[in-house]
Chains A and B, each alone.
Chain A
Amino acid sequence: MSPIQEKGMSLIVKTVTKLTVGFILLYGVYVALTGHLSPGGGFAGGVIVALAFIHVMLAFGKEVALRRLRSQTLRVSIGVSALIFLYIVMAGFSGRSIFNCEITIPICEMAIVGFGLFAIFTALVLLSKTDKDAE
């Protein structure tokens, strides 16, 4: 085993994580994509996606989780998703009725998932015990 894989929790936790993390991700995506039809909205979807990554991080350690998801990707996704949010807001400002449009609903959902990714990013930064410039 490589030194990276020795970190984290016991073998049982790692195995269970390997089995379940895909389903958690899938469920998160499902909640996000059907958010506009269900009570509570798609916001929870982003959080569930974020939880999947936190799950990986708890079981395997920070390095593995960060290898899956680079900080550059995260930073760009924060920026892009926030800009999509802003686009939706501006579309609302300009008086177009956006909530009837077929295209904007998926865009909303994507933005919401992006916001969830933002949550992961902050969570990763929080739990990182190393210094800030590790990225």
Chain B
Amino acid sequence: MSEYLLCLILFSIGLYCVVRKRNLIKIIIGIGIMEYAANLFFVLAGYRKTGRSPIFSADQQVLNMVDPLPQAVVLTAIVIGLALTLLLVAVSIKIYEKYGTFDITKINKLKG
């Protein structure tokens, strides 16, 4: 149970970071933390105590493995997260060139 609780705490830290921080880079880090919390949760959902790694070989039976599906899913999710982080960093570099600041409260050319 405690590991799920840790997941929740990690997720909350990320959400806090996204909502409260004013620096663009810190917001991006916050999004990263949230993603990792979700990924961690997904991997834990497939975990089994005393399970072994899900590699098939001729001398072993398909018994008592941890669930391999969440691992494949999380690998994909990590790549998606990478693309998203790259996008956000690229946009924030361009924003820095245009506005000369990383402070989100000073980036307010859009009105309304």
Contacts and interface: CB of A to CB of B under 8 A. Distances in A.
Contacts of B55: 39
A86 B90 CA distance: 26
Contacts of A123: 86
A82 B59 CA distance: 37
A51 to B, nearest CB: 14
Interface string B84-98: 001001100100010
A19 interface: no
A125 B90 contact: yes
Interface string A89-130: 000000000000000000000000000000000110111010
B28 to A, nearest CB: 12
A67 to B, nearest CB: 22
B66 to A, nearest CB: 14
Interface residues of B, number: 6
A125 B90 CA distance: 8
A62 B86 CA distance: 18
Interface in B62-112: 86, 89-90, 93, 97
Interface centre among A39, A122, A129 (most CB of B within 10 A): A122
A126 B97 contact: no
A39 B93 CA distance: 35
A108 to B, nearest CB: 15
A32 to B, nearest CB: 16
Contact of B97 (A39, A122, A129): A129
Contacts of A126: 86, 89-90, 93
A45 B93 CA distance: 27
A127 B96 CA distance: 12
Interface of A: 39, 122-123, 125-127, 129
Given A123-B86, A126-B86, A129-B97, 9 more contacts: A39-B55, A122-B86, A122-B90, A125-B90, A126-B89, A126-B90, A126-B93, A127-B93, A129-B93
12 contacts: A39-B55, A122-B86, A122-B90, A123-B86, A125-B90, A126-B86, A126-B89, A126-B90, A126-B93, A127-B93, A129-B93, A129-B97
